[in-house]
Amino acid sequence: MAIDDGHAVDYTAVRRGSPIYASDEVEVGRVHEVLDNAREHIFDGIVFDSNEGKRRFVDAPEVARTAERAVTLNITASEAAELPAPERKTGTAPGLLGRLFRGRR
């Protein structure tokens, strides 16, 4: 079964509440916030609310596709369940880009 997620969109167009699917087509949660480095216009990752009620962070390299109606990861549901919580409530993530650009103003 293929996920009917609509047309591909830029990460900046992903809407809060959009479902997030793992590579094995299991819904693992809903988008809470899309993070980027605004100055550099670089996608950092997505903070999402898992189906278990935990807030998690998925780093940009693990995001396979951003589309009109969903986000698809390139990791499995079991791998998504092991993702870390974001380092702060919003705006900073434990991903590579978050680490590289932290403190730059």
Instruction: Give residue-wise pLDDT tens across range 20-37.
Output: 999 999 999 999 999 998
- Check residue 76 and give left, alpha or beta (phi > 0: left; psi -120 to 50: alpha): beta
Q: Show Cβ contacts of residue 2 under 8 Å, excluding neighbours closer than 6 positions.
A: 25
User: Residue 85 pLDDT > 50, yes or no?
Assistant: yes
d(CA 73, CA 77): 9
pLDDT of residue 40: 87
User: Residue 95 pLDDT > 90, yes or no?
Assistant: no
pTM: 0.81
pLDDT of residue 101: 47
Select from 49, 67, 66, 68 the least CA-distant residue to 57: 49
Domains in the chain: boundaries: 11-101
pLDDT of residue 99: 47
Specify the CATH superfamily of domain 11-101. Photosynthetic Reaction Center, subunit H, domain 2 (3.90.50.10)
User: Residue 89 pLDDT > 80, yes or no?
Assistant: no
Please, is 34 exposed, middle or buried when counting C-beta atoms within 10 Å of its C-beta (0-12, 13-18, 19+)? buried
**Average pLDDT taken over every residue of the chain:** 87
d(CA 15, CA 46): 11
